[in-house]
Structure 1
Amino acid sequence: MAAAMQLAARAKGRADIRVTVVNATERFTERMRLHMTATRQQVADLSVPEMLEGTGAHFVRGWVTAVDADARTVRIDDDRTLAYDTLVYGLGGAADTSAVPGAEHHAYTLDSASDAELLGDRLTRLDGGTVVVAGSGLTGIETAAEIAEQYPAADVVLVGRQEPGASMNPKAGAYVRAALDRLGVRVRAGAEVRKVLPGGVELAGGELVAADAVVWTSGTRVSPVAAGAGLTVDERGRIVTDGALRSVSHPEVYAVGDAAAIRQGYGVMHGTCQGGMPTGVHAALSILRVLRGKQPKAFRFGYYHTPVSLGRTDAVVQFTRPDDSPRRICLTGGLAVRYKETVTASPWPTYGRMKKMPASGAFWPRGGRFTRIGRTK
């Protein structure tokens, strides 16, 4: 969306440029709020066509089934084929339910609004019961906390190899664990799920943990479309890019967000909301530079923070170095809640500014929240 709106805003009035957005549904899913959808809380119903209205960008509803990078075409599920001169590839990650037997068939995920709604239906019918959240990373923490707060009669068990908050500094990590304890979440750290069963999970060593519902938040995978298209991908299937976010094998393809293996000085970026909008904007600016006969500039990015919700009234924000290692500074409690909500809501005023932006306007508010979170130069 950031790439499309930036391109459309700057290409207004140019008959030789047509921007098309392809998405499986008209609904724009805020993935950072899917744990709220799963617990039947009201979130904004955002429409992709409405968001694009007035930008000049066109919307095509369809599930992308294949890309032919040599023919420069995109195939969607109703057998339509769309031709392109330049492609921005943003098919991001999803829960990796293929790594553990039974996860694909017996576990719920938070990949889409419909997935979250399915989990919500199950939670409302539990009347207590046990919910196992598999994966003690940030998504697992937020999911376990949200379910425990919204369904206090449920027995929520968070299972993972590491202690929750292990990537944070000691103060922030201890705060996360204390909050989970306060909410009644039982943490099983140092445990590995080897199999998901219809009635629970089997841990390494053979122990069975009974559950009425299992939520899978352990690991992600990317769409196989990029590899099938003949693009150069890494071991995880992400498109390998040059410094300007172009595919190293097909430079007319730009990869953004979770779909891209983008190398920075500290290593390859990992999938995060912090990188999504900056990569989209940078891809748009690179495309526009190439259309003007110029070379695109290199993308530079540094992480800034890790905000984690702990229910609706508590949170922790771990500030980080550019390589995502934790700083000593963190926010907790109500201040962290307000900070996280501001960050989570931040794309919408930015998109609004993009829609009104003149062709020569600044693409990213200088000195503002977004340039600090993900710096693009």
Structure 2
Amino acid sequence: MSSTTTEKRIVVLGAGYAGLSAAKGAGKHHPVTLVAPEERLLHRIRQHEAAAGHGRDWPALSQLARGRRIEHRRARAVELDLAGHKVLLDDGTALGYDTLVYALGSRTAWHDVPGAAEHAYPVERAAELHRRLRDADRPGTIAVVGGGATGIELATELAEAHPRWRVRIVAAGQVGGWFSVKGRTHVRRALDRLGVTVHENAAVTEVTPAGLRTAAGPIEADVTVWAASMEPHPLAAEAGLTVDARGRAVVDGHLRSVSHPDVHVIGDAAAVTVPGTGALRMGCATALPMGQYLGKLLAGRTDEPFAFKYLAQCLSLGRRDGMLQLVRGDDSMRPTVLTGTAGRLAKAAIVAGVYSALK
């Protein structure tokens, strides 16, 4: 383990789970400038609750950064001058750095589907979606596009919160298809219990004001919610960092860019491969540990490479149901699944643990 004697100017881009935890760790020993336009924490793993009207205002970033040498700049990074060690912000200013932490995460991917960006609500607009459903003159049909965790959580939460609306979930493949047999069975039972119509093997080819056109035929919808997948922010590739085929910055064992070692990349923006575990997927489960590790590394509290193994995957299935799927260290499925109240409480404990770690 190394010690740190010389202060560094550290700039952290992004205040999600990865960026905020890295800033807090590094801010114990170095001055850190945290660049993020948000005033408050965006608790992304609870966006499905916000869409259903169950969200609340999360703490201000200044409150979460209390006790650390962190300055929060409410701005967006628009350009990286990697040669000059500068970040250009949308307010016209530039920040110099000795070490840059790139943690801009990911955003909804539209996959060039015609009409998707114009007519569908992404998870980033959860509060707006809630107002649309709340203020509707009459109930109609909601189509949630995406059979992954985000889509499942949105479909079940919306169906429970708005029982007069008809809810559909539309997937290119199988809904929850990566889970174990017990896990998939429980997800399907939860959807059936809440009256959610399932459309599988129905890749969406167009979104219109009246609904969806899919490979399996048209699907009517008054409101479309898009949860198909996420993609990394393009700034890393635009700046010249080495990226993989998905646009994620390729990093070494200490989460440093392989092309620019004075830049650390963490969270959904990073293409990370851990020996014995494999290539890490996007999500809070990987972003928070990366941020915590990097905070320790920058503070001189470790010089070991990043290590990580998976333990479980979890889902909210409305307010009264949930699922915890145990996995092996490489994220492959184990047969053991906790469901119902036990699954809900396990999910709630994990979410509470994430929030506690950020506090």
Shared fold by TM > 0.5?
Answer: yes
Does 2:294 correspond to 1:283? yes
Does 2:220 correspond to 1:174? no
Does 2:326 correspond to 1:319? yes
Does 2:27 correspond to 1:8? yes
Does 2:134 correspond to 1:124? yes
Which residue is equivalent to 1:360?
A: none
Structure 2: state its 5+ residue gaps.
1-19
Tell me the CA shift for residue 287 of structure 1: 2.4
Tell me the CA shift for residue 154 of structure 1: 0.6
Amino acid at match of 2:349: T
Amino acid at match of 1:6: G
Is the contact made by 2:25 and 2:295 (CA closer than 8 Å) also made in structure 1?
Answer: yes
2:229 aligned to which of 196, 214, 219: 219
Could you give the per-residue CA deviations for residues 90-147 of structure 1, whole angstroms, max 9, x where no partner exists? 0011110243111111110002xxx111111111133320000011111000000000
Distance 1:99 1:28 in 2: 30
Distance 1:136 1:35 in 2: 14
Which residue is equivalent to 2:155?
A: 144
Does 2:276 correspond to 1:269? no
Which residue is equivalent to 1:361?
A: none
Which residue is equivalent to 2:80?
A: 67
Aligned ranges for residues 209-358 of structure 1 at < 5 Å? 209-265=219-275, 266-289=277-300, 296-352=303-359
Distance 1:220 1:238 in 2: 12
Secondary structure of the structure 1 residue equivalent to 2:303:
coil
Amino acid at match of 2:228: S
Is the contact made by 2:47 and 2:55 (CA closer than 8 Å) also made in structure 1?
Answer: no
Which residue is equivalent to 1:369?
A: none
Is the contact made by 2:171 and 2:200 (CA closer than 8 Å) also made in structure 1?
Answer: yes
Tell me the CA shift for residue 163 of structure 1: 2.4
Which residue is equivalent to 1:188?
A: 199
Distance 1:163 1:239 in 2: 30
Could you give the per-residue CA deviations for residues 1-57 of structure 1, whole angstroms, max 9, x where no partner exists? 111111112x1xxxxx31111101111110111111111114242210111122221
Secondary structure of the structure 1 residue equivalent to 2:87:
strand
Which residue is equivalent to 1:90?
A: 103
Distance 1:198 1:296 in 2: 54
Distance 2:346 2:35 in 1: 32
Secondary structure of the structure 1 residue equivalent to 2:245:
coil
Is the contact made by 1:315 and 1:332 (CA closer than 8 Å) also made in structure 2?
Answer: yes
1:107 aligned to which of 110, 117, 120: 120
Secondary structure of the structure 1 residue equivalent to 2:159:
helix
Tell me the CA shift for residue 300 of structure 1: 1.3
Distance 2:312 2:197 in 1: 27
Tell me the CA shift for residue 284 of structure 1: 2.1
Tell me the CA shift for residue 68 of structure 1: 1.6
Could you give the per-residue CA deviations for residues 186-233 of structure 1, whole angstroms, max 9, x where no partner exists? 00011110111121110025x221111100000111111101111111
Could you give the per-residue CA deviations for residues 54-81 of structure 1, whole angstroms, max 9, x where no partner exists? 2221111101211121111111111111
1:43 aligned to which of 56, 62, 67: 56
Could you give the per-residue CA deviations for residues 248-294 of structure 1, whole angstroms, max 9, x where no partner exists? 000011111101000123432110111111101221222233xx9xx
Amino acid at match of 1:99: D
Distance 1:149 1:128 in 2: 14
Greater length-normalized contact order (CA 8 Å, ≥ 6 residues apart): 2
Distance 2:110 2:44 in 1: 18
Secondary structure of the structure 1 residue equivalent to 2:113:
coil
Amino acid at match of 1:34: Q
Is the contact made by 1:67 and 1:74 (CA closer than 8 Å) also made in structure 2?
Answer: yes
Distance 2:39 2:310 in 1: 30
Distance 1:44 1:122 in 2: 19
Amino acid at match of 1:43: R
Is the contact made by 2:315 and 2:347 (CA closer than 8 Å) also made in structure 1?
Answer: yes
Amino acid at match of 1:23: A
Structure 1: state its 5+ residue gaps.
12-16, 353-377
Is the contact made by 1:33 and 1:43 (CA closer than 8 Å) also made in structure 2?
Answer: no
